[in-house]
Amino acid sequence: LWNFAYADRVFALDEARWSSAPGDVEILFLAGDAYPAALPDMTQAAHVALTTFRAETLQYAPDRGLPELREWIASYVGEEGVRITANHVLIVNGAKHGLDLVCRLFLNPGDALAVTSPTYMSALRIFQGFEIDLIDIAQDSDGLIVEDLAERLRARKRIGARAPKMVYNVPEFHNPTGLTMSERRRMELVALAEREGLLVVEDDPYRRIRFEGVPVPPIQSFDESGRVIGLGTFAKIIAPGLRVGWVSAEPEIITKMVGFKSDGGSCPLTQRMILEYCKAGRVDSHVNELVKSYSLHRDVMFDMVTTQLPGATTRKPEGGYYLWVQLPDGMDSERLLSLALAEGVGFLPASWFYPNAGPPNYVRLAYSYCSPEAIAEGMRRLGRVFRRVAG
Ligand SMILES: Cc1ncc(COP(=O)(O)O)c(C=O)c1O
């Protein structure tokens, strides 16, 4: 056998974790996949893309993405109060690709980055490749506690530790907790970022999947000095499989980022399909349908937490894809998972979401993918396992 001379960063990867996701679980509360019955019909858009736009869609794409799509995105986020032009937009292969590029552009080994604890597990996986320190910041019902971040900065200064370069957050329907950061906290974060010279990375895939309540303007809409980098995606509003997302940032940042984009341009076929779909004015009505479906999914799952998991608690998120459930004290989410998998139910245990150490008694249940009937059946099975573990 070869003894492969892997780079040092490979040894930081928790390989067992990433290769252990079961592929044949019958009922999945695991991943933030789209509800199959709610995927849009893209046949017409694909047809136009492959006929009218054949010379464009079967060719290499412009490095920054299709200009018209970049303009569409600038006006789409403009509806939320983010004042940008197409020059601020880079098309990428999903928001995660955008995050990877942000890291490439700004992080050296040994740098520090602040994240909420818990945070999005795939972001943690990306950060692992950059040999950096993660500083975990507390949250409450108003989202990331900016004063906690400020205190951590002061504490690091006192001991001469490196200040973090960036803060990464999912402010709207946070993954995994479902929390939304208040407007006041968003403004405080931008002010702190300016004072301390921090970048803020705002990962905002779920903003339009709002079931109730009042939308909070994006962090980027409060930014006057270009310190906020936005990550957006069509994964949650059209289809995750098309792999089209965007980065919105100062044109200078976008220009540098293009230099690290090694994919030969994101796929022009899927970009054109999305653009045709958007130009036909279909996004808003499709999102309305998604909101109806997912709010029903959430209600079914939320109600069944109370009836099936006695002693567990969760907050009802106003949007997004997930319930973050606190199990009774002493219950280990990994043990619950191993028994649940045998019953055909999957979910993600607490440890996936904590940048450093965290409590073991939390689970993330995704309600997006399963039908209401499958959610009900899965929750009944989970309830049986839960009672065995509790008993
Ligand atoms: C916080 C967060 N960011 C980004 C994404 C999606 O990224 P992508 O566009 O790469 O599919 C998700 C999907 O689960 C997410 O939860």
Q: What are phi and psi of 384, to 5 degrees?
A: -60, -45
Mutational pocket test of ligand 1: of 116, 120, 244, the residue with most ligand atoms within 8 Å of the beta carbon: 120
Atom index in ligand 1 nearest the CA of residue 233 equals: 9
Is residue 250's pLDDT more than 60?
Answer: yes
Is residue 15's pLDDT more than 80?
Answer: no
Atom index in ligand 1 nearest the CA of residue 245 equals: 9
Mutational pocket test of ligand 1: of 103, 116, 122, the residue with most ligand atoms within 8 Å of the beta carbon: 122
pLDDT category, 121, cuts 50, 70, 90? very high
Q: In percent, how much of the chain has pLDDT > 90?
A: 91
CA–centroid distance, 104 to ligand 1, in Å, is 18
Mean pLDDT of 311-335: 97
Residue scoring higher pLDDT (9 or 160): 160
Contacts from 211-215 at CB under 8 Å and sequence distance 24+? 211/291, 211/294, 211/295, 211/298, 211/318, 211/319, 212/295, 212/318, 212/319, 213/180, 213/318, 213/319, 215/80, 215/172
Mutational pocket test of ligand 1: of 115, 169, 229, 236, the residue with most ligand atoms within 8 Å of the beta carbon: 236
Average pLDDT, the chain: 95
| Conformational region of residue 203, where left means phi above 0, alpha means psi within -120 to 50, and beta covers everything else | beta
Identify whether the C-beta of residue 312 lies closer than 8 Å to the C-beta of residue 390: no
Closest residue to atom 12 of ligand 1, CA basis: 205
DSSP string, 7-72: -GGGGGS-HHHHH---S--SEE-SS-PPPGGG----HHHHHHHHTTTHHHHTSPPPTT--HHHHHH
Atom index in ligand 1 nearest the CA of residue 96 equals: 10
Mean pLDDT of 278-284: 96
What are 360-384's pLDDT values in tens digits? 999 999 999 999 999 999 999 999 9
Mean pLDDT of 59-84: 97
Identify the residue whose tokens are 């905002």.
Answer: 204
pLDDT value for 289: 98
Mean pLDDT of 95-111: 97
Query: What's the Rg (C-alpha) of the chain?
Result: 21
Is residue 8's pLDDT more than 70?
Answer: yes
pLDDT category, 3, cuts 50, 70, 90? confident
Atom index in ligand 1 nearest the CA of residue 98 equals: 10
Identify the residue whose tokens are 């045709």.
Answer: 276
Distance, CA of 351 to CA of 356 (rounded, Å): 9
How does strand 139-140 pair with strand 133-137? Answer: unpaired
Closest residue to atom 4 of ligand 1, CA basis: 95
Partners of 139 in the β-ladder: 144
Closest residue to atom 9 of ligand 1, CA basis: 94
Mean pLDDT of 14-38: 76
Instruction: Indicate the residue type of 299.
Output: D
Two tokens at 36? 């199959």
CA-based torsion, 293, 295, 299, 305: positive or negative: positive
DSSP string, 324-376: EEEPPTT--HHHHHHHHHHTTEE-EEGGGG-SS---S-EEEEE-SSS-HHHHH
Is residue 186's pLDDT more than 60?
Answer: yes
Two tokens at 72? 């569409």
Is residue 22's pLDDT more than 60?
Answer: no
CA–centroid distance, 95 to ligand 1, in Å, is 6
pLDDT value for 4: 86
Distance, CA of 381 to CA of 386 (rounded, Å): 9
Mean pLDDT of 331-357: 94
Distance, CA of 186 to CA of 192 (rounded, Å): 10
Partners of 112 in the β-ladder: 133, 164
What are the pocket residues of ligand 1 if the criterion is a CB atom closer than 6 Å to any ligand atom? 32, 94-96, 120, 170, 175, 203, 205, 233, 235, 240, 245
Distance, CA of 89 to CA of 389 (rounded, Å): 49
CA–centroid distance, 344 to ligand 1, in Å, is 25
pLDDT value for 25: 56
